[in-house]
Amino acid sequence: MNETEFLEYVQSGGQVEATDDLPDDYRAKLIKFIEMHGNSELMGVLPEREWILRAPTLQRKLALTAKVQDEVGHSQLIYRVVEDLGKPRERCLDDLISGKSKFHNVFHYPTKTWGDVGVIAWLVDAAAIISQKALLKCSYAPYARIMKKICWEESFHILHGRDVILTLMNGTDDQRALVQEALDRWWGPLMQFHGNPIDKEDDPMYVWRIKSQGNEEARQQFLDGYVPQIWELGLSVSDPRLRKNDDGVWEYSEPDWDELKSVVTGHGPRSQDRLDLRRMARENSAWVRQVVLADVA
Ligand SMILES: [Fe+2]
Ligand SMILES: [Fe+2]
């Protein structure tokens, strides 16, 4: 297949395997996209991990620990897919730590209260699962396959997050205020999460059918699924322009795209601390890799 035939094939719903001949551009785009996903799963555990020791009950501690373990497992699975495409995991970690590759905007922010734990597990995971569900149709079959397991686990994370939020909302005024304050801080990053509303036909990740939906489509789905639930719980969204029009399309204030760009290029409030921690963890565990891999080398 030449490149034009390949494009026609994936655009008509065709899927390819690791052993197929892949155009160089497609392979490079796949690596970039999937590597960022793996990085995000790995870096995403850091904000939540800070709260394991401060979880309010044993049950919450167990649930949060399990979620963090799930996310690390997702990064392992995803980095394996990148490895099959030709980029070893060690190089992915080198590029993550040096700032050469990126991770999702939402994982560059601090988790200030227990309310953040609920908002992350409920709404950040909800925003993520919308993108991940669309990857079940990815043209690269190995990635689409592992997304089944990942989506199943993510939907459980959302239940855990929703339960944390429901408990707080059924508690005291202070607890409700804690959730509202967390939601107000997370709303901006959540609205930026799916990226700027470029036409999907101009998005190379869509053209190669790595993604099966456009950015704005994903954001609309998120708003449609979750804003009614947010309102139902008695919470408010800090955007005064947010409303659903008669045609079913959500209207909202323009997200801060400059903030998104600055955050994902490593200038977020916690970007460097988190990368430092990852760097330190990697250095401290280097001897284990040396011992385990000594025979292989
Ligand atoms: Fe995950
Ligand atoms: Fe998750």
Q: How far is the CA of 290 from the centre of ligand 2 (A)?
A: 31
Distance 58 CA to ligand 1 centre (A): 22
pLDDT recorded at residue 83:
97
Q: Which residues of the chain have pLDDT under 50?
A: none
Q: How remote is the CA of residue 3 from the centroid of ligand 2, in Å?
A: 35
Q: What is the pLDDT of residue 296?
A: 65
Q: What pLDDT is recorded for position 252?
A: 98
pLDDT confidence of residue 297: 58
Note the pLDDT tens digit of each residue in 226-237.
999 999 999 999
Residue 1: per-residue pLDDT = 83
- Ligand nearest, relative to CA of residue 75: 1
Q: What pLDDT score does 294 carry?
A: 79
- Per-residue pLDDT tens digits for 215-268: 999 999 999 999 999 999 999 999 999 999 999 999 999 999 999 999 999 999
Ligand 2: distance of its center to the CA of 67 in Å?
A: 7
Q: How far is the CA of 247 from the centre of ligand 1 (A)?
A: 33
- Measured in Å, residue 106 CA sits from the centre of ligand 1 at 13
Q: Kindly give the distance from the C-alpha atom of residue 154 to the centroid of ligand 2, in angstroms, as a whole number.
A: 4
Percent of the chain with pLDDT over 70: 99
The ligand whose atoms approach the alpha carbon of 67 most closely is 2
Nearest ligand to the C-alpha atom of residue 76: 1
Query: How far apart are the CA of 74 and the centre of ligand 2, in A?
Result: 9
Q: How remote is the CA of residue 41 from the centroid of ligand 1, in Å?
A: 5
Strands (DSSP E) found in the chain: 243-244, 250-251
Question: Which ligand is closest to the CA of 132, given by its number?
Answer: 1
Task: Name residues with Cβ closer than 5 Å to ligand 2, which is an ion.
Answer: 125, 154, 157
* Distance from residue 139's CA to the centre of ligand 1 (Å): 20
Ligand nearest to the CA of 74: 1
**What distance in angstroms lies between residue 147's CA and the mean position of ligand 1's atoms?**
10
CATH number of 12-163+195-215+257-293: 1.20.1260.10
